[in-house]
Amino acid sequence: MVHDCEITLIRRGTADNSDEYGGIVNADSERDIFAVECGVKRNEFYQAQAIGMSPTITFQCFSFDYEGEKIVRYNGKEYRVIRSYPLDGERLELVCGDIAEGQ
């Protein structure tokens, strides 16, 4: 599998983050990684719809690249990670949905 697209993983800064001096850090952190864009599987779509979520895009990446970020930017648009799960020992799938206005 060729990782043919670049996505940005974003961890939003919160008051829970602090620097080495104990100061509060609210800055977002961003990292670019390579991934594969995939369509949303039919069963994934219907399962998410049943609980009020709408998956719109899926990415596959290496497991070691993902550190629990909740936002993905791709082609200038931001998505929230609805779910992540391992495919095999080295790959992970990120199921993502649109971010509603104001979130």
Asked whether the predicted pLDDT for residue 46 surpasses 60, the reply is no
Query: 72 is in which domain, residue-wise?
Result: 5-12+29-98
DSSP 8-state class, residue 41: P
Task: Provide the β-strand partners of residue 55.
Answer: 97
Question: What pLDDT shows up at residue 1?
Answer: 61
Residue 20 included in any domain? no
Residue 22 included in any domain? no
DSSP string, 39-75: PPPHHHHHHHHHTT--EEEEEEEEGGG----SEEEET
Task: Quickly list H helices, 25-64.
Answer: 42-50
Asked whether the predicted pLDDT for residue 2 surpasses 80, the reply is no
Asked whether the predicted pLDDT for residue 66 surpasses 80, the reply is yes
Residue 17 included in any domain? no
Pair of tokens at residue 69: 């970020």
Asked whether the beta carbons of 3 and 63 are under 8 A apart, the reply is no
Residue 86 included in any domain? yes
With bands split at pLDDT 50, 70 and 90, how would you rate the model's confidence at 78? very high
Domain count, the chain: 1
